[in-house]
Amino acid sequence: MVKKNGSNDIFKGRTLIIATMHRKEKVIAPILESELEVHCKTVSDLNTDKFGTFTGEVDRKLTAMDTVKAKALAALEGTTETLAVASEGSFGAHPSSFLMSANEEMLILIDTKNNLEIRGWHLTTETNFNHQEIKNISDLKEFEKRIGFPNHGIILKTKEIGGEEKILKNFQSPEILRSKVLELLKGNKTIIAETDMRAMNNPTRMRAIGHAVNDLVKNIKSLCPDCKAPGFSVSEVVRGLRCSLCNLPTKSVKAYIYKCKNCEYACERAKENVTQEDPMYCDFCNP
């Protein structure tokens, strides 16, 4: 429990472990060190891949929310530290616009000493998440250009008829990648090229993680009005924003419920700068 009149000083000077094996500390550490005055480090024997990989070797079995928590706790295991941050990304169709690809980044800060769990989140359509079948070298060159290779990584998945799928990655240059593809094409294999979504091979994703870190910091700095514990953030949304034309409630968000996980204090805060919804989103005016 955080004592009354606690604040972000509870993190000051402490060691914070970043649970990553994909160099996410590059973007996470500078922000947290300057905002929370912690000392960030990584642990060398952590295998976050056991929770699922983007490349398909290991499927993610837990939800993103449970995975990120399991990663943070795994990083603390076997250490005497009590503070950890982990992140987890998801990629796919945008939740409200299925034609666009989206990247959702989730972060968690776990403080086992003070029994705190604070989250950060970022959703963006700025992602190069993509895949394509490669039938010849010009397909490959087009895909390289589209996703920004070699600045961003490419993964190849290849399969012979009746054979097992093979995953090839870590191509350092277009020459190495192209000669591998030529070799596979000669062997009559199906080739699927995919964007490498691992943070260290994807600067676009690294930027999205940076935005999620900023959201985490914002939530950490939000203190409970009652007990002053950090992490006073949105736990639920309240829908029913009224239509500006017919005044009936719509499905749009009108307010947020903030809840303290330390003392259970909760309050509702109206969504800023919005009092009415456009009739375009009203089921009555625009069914």
Q: Which residues contact Zn ion by CB under 5 A?
A: 224, 226-227, 229, 243, 245-246, 260, 262-263, 265, 279, 282, 284-285
Cβ of residue 229: shortest distance to Zn ion, in angstroms?
A: 5
Smallest separation (angstroms) from Zn ion to the CB of 107: 21
**Looking at beta carbons only, is 106 or 229 nearer to Zn ion?**
229
Nearer to Zn ion, 150 or 249 (CB): 249
Closest among 169, 192, 166, 178 to 22, alpha carbons compared: 169
In whole angstroms, the minimum distance from the beta carbon of 232 to Zn ion comes to: 7
Residue 129 CB contacts under 8 Å (≥ 6 apart), including other chains? 91, 92, 101, 103, 195, 197
Nearer to Zn ion, 93 or 246 (CB): 246
User: Would you say 143 or 232 has its CB closer to Zn ion?
Assistant: 232
Supply the minimum distance, in Å, between the C-beta of residue 3 and Zn ion: 11
CB of 284 to Zn ion, least distance (A): 5
CA neighbours within 13 Å on the CB side: how many for 151? 9
Residue length, the chain? 287
Query: For residue 222, what are the CA distances in angstroms to 10, 95, 272?
Result: 14, 27, 16
235 membership: H or E segment, kind and range: strand 233-239
CB nearer to Zn ion: pick between 103 and 262: 262
Q: Give one DSSP letter per residue of 98-154, joined into a string.
A: TTSEEEEEEEEEEETTTTEEEEEEEEES-----EEE--SHHHHHHHHHHHTTTTS-E
We find the least distance from the C-beta atom of residue 263 to Zn ion, in angstroms, to be 3
Residues facing residue 154 across a β-bridge = 195
- 48 or 252: CB nearest Zn ion: 252
Q: Which of 257, 246, 256 is nearest to 286 (CA)?
A: 246
